[in-house]
């Protein structure tokens, strides 16, 4: 009989623990040794930590009409006898992310031949993303790709690149010549990053039937003039 008393006390304790909420049982009834259970950690796990934040992109939109980002005067100066002053807008599923416009014209000089000119502007806006990085970082990466793309134009000759100050945060002007449609074209491409937006201005021209092609200096000046207006248009759209 002296061995039945401990068994009776154990049954009594187990019954008492059964009547206690589960959370309390873990804390006070998990052991008969009296040592108690270990305290749960209050430190949150690494997986529960907040996702890293990125800087908000400076520009939330692009100009509503890319064809109006280059002034009518500049278009007329750069495109003699322009076919359409209103320009031709690029197709885009979302003009707040990607847009563009181009103009062209052919001016006849009689027996001296004809002058052809083409001007185009395109915009790409990048948003900040916790996985991909800030809008400015993503734009910087795309800016480098666009410069490399212009430098690697198929068939281009006399390719030259120069850092260009006074236009956006970063700008590079790429010039080259290219033979096509039985004429020697002169090109100037200005790639610009302004905060989280990358814009590219292409200006080129050629002379037909004896007319001279424009000089590198002339197309460079024209492209950079248009690029400055394009950068200003982005800032205006976000005021």
Q: With 50 as the cut, is the pLDDT of residue 37 above it? A: no
- Output the pTM of the full model: 0.78
Q: What is the pLDDT of residues 198-224, one digit of tens each?
A: 999 999 999 999 899 999 999 999 999
Tokens representing 14 are 């187990």
* Least reliable range by pLDDT among 35-44, 127-136, 162-171, 222-231: 35-44
Q: What is the pLDDT of residues 155-182, one digit of tens each?
A: 999 999 999 999 999 999 999 999 998 8
Q: Kindly compute the dihedral angle of the four CA atoms of residues 115, 203, 230, 89, in this order, to the nearest 10 degrees.
A: 80
Q: So what's the pLDDT on residue 53?
A: 87
In the chain, what are the domain boundaries? 4-48, 66-237
Domain over 66-237 is classified CATH 3.40.1010: no
Residue 189 CB: number of other CB atoms within 10 A?
A: 26
Rounded CA separation 138/76 (Å): 34
Q: With 60 as the cut, is the pLDDT of residue 48 above it? A: no
What values do phi and psi take at 113, rounded to 5? 100, -160
Rounded CA separation 204/104 (Å): 10
């Amino acid at each position: 009989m002296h061995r039945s008393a401990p068994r009776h006390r154990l049954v009594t304790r187990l019954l008492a623990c059964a009547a206690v909420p589960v959370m309390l049982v873990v804390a006070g009834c998990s052991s008969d040794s009296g040592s108690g259970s270990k305290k749960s950690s209050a430190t949150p796990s690494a997986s529960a930590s907040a996702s890293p934040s990125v800087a908000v992109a400076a520009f939330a939109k692009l100009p509503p009409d890319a064809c109006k980002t280059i002034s009518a005067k500049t278009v007329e100066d750069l495109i003699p006898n322009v076919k359409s002053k209103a320009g031709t807008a690029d197709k885009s599923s979302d003009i707040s992310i990607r847009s563009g416009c181009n103009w062209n014209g052919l001016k006849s000089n009689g027996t001296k031949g004809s002058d052809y000119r083409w001007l185009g502007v395109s915009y790409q806006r990048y948003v900040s993303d916790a996985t991909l990085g800030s809008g400015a970082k993503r734009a910087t990466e795309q800016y480098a790709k666009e410069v490399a793309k212009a430098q690697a134009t198929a068939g281009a000759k006399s390719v030259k690149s120069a850092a260009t100050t006074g236009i956006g945060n970063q700008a590079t002007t790429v010039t080259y010549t290219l033979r096509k449609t039985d004429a020697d074209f002169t090109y100037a491409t200005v790639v610009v990053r302004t905060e989280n937006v990358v814009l590219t201005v292409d200006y080129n021209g050629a002379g037909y039937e004896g007319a001279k092609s424009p000089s590198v200096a002339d197309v460079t000046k024209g492209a950079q003039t248009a690029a400055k207006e394009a950068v200003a248009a982005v800032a205006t759209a976000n005021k």
